[in-house]
Chains A and B, each alone.
Chain A
């Protein structure tokens, strides 16, 4: 049975799935990286993903174009990010708890809206494969890397973009400073709240697009709680990647590789109890997190609210 997994075509299939499946949590984890680098821990990512997934789906279901669906997800993601920012930056509530609250809010509201507005599980035709001319014809690699839908490409494009924003722009410098020493940033006239509002809105938008990539890109349906806790995996990936975008990418790929293996093991009918197969990626996350306790680049002010010392 191991032989079956080892044929070239299966391997290509597994790697193709790996690249594809990473999309939703790559978006979400990149978004979370922005928040955490500025010192805000947002545990509500999953709730934002669900809201994004629902709104994108609903807009498309109502007959609008796919990109309008993505836009709807961005809008709802920014709003959810604003909500999180209001609660944990302006009201200075504990970041962990308020994140859980946001998650439950997103979970409940997306389910409620789904029941009232749609009712039953329906399909839409989502983003289609968009093979990149020439590149996709390279044997093996071509299929693995260059035969995906637009949202998948976008997710990977966001890795260098995020890196660039964090390391090469004035906003990025402010983000890094605020996450490490908000007091110092404040004395230089950097608005700590302003920066944190911004990163949470960026994070919300990315998480919501991650959700949309599920409902109108990969699965093309909406179901209650369809993310199955992927948002929490995204948070874990940020720690895993030591707050660096490349690290986050590596973590996302590793996680989705295990995920893809798990799917193929099931698809090929290899006799492994399906519960165990489904658990594999999550078990791996825990194991990996246990070994990445070295918190090298951890923003020193992570999860601490800031108030001017008066």
Chain B
């Protein structure tokens, strides 16, 4: 077990205002709306659950993954037509021991929220983590 904090002085960002979806002109309740980047991010930010992935507090600091920019909207690449989503997260330090847990939590959250046809790829942002290959 590592004694002492892994990242003593993390860079903390402003919590972004959630982008509100504007009313679409299509009010047909049977229309299938393709899943897009915002929806994936909302899944990760879901406030209906008792906790949301990006609100996970780093045990060392009272900041969430969103505030530490570990996960942002741009972290998400989605192609509904191909049933494919890729989430790339950026640990704050190179040898973050939480990286495997974060990766698994994101994967499980998406697997439970998305239709079974989806292929899910979770990646650590290139160059940001020592055990990058082990995460995928």
B is a partner of A: no
Interface residues of A (CB under 8 A from B): none
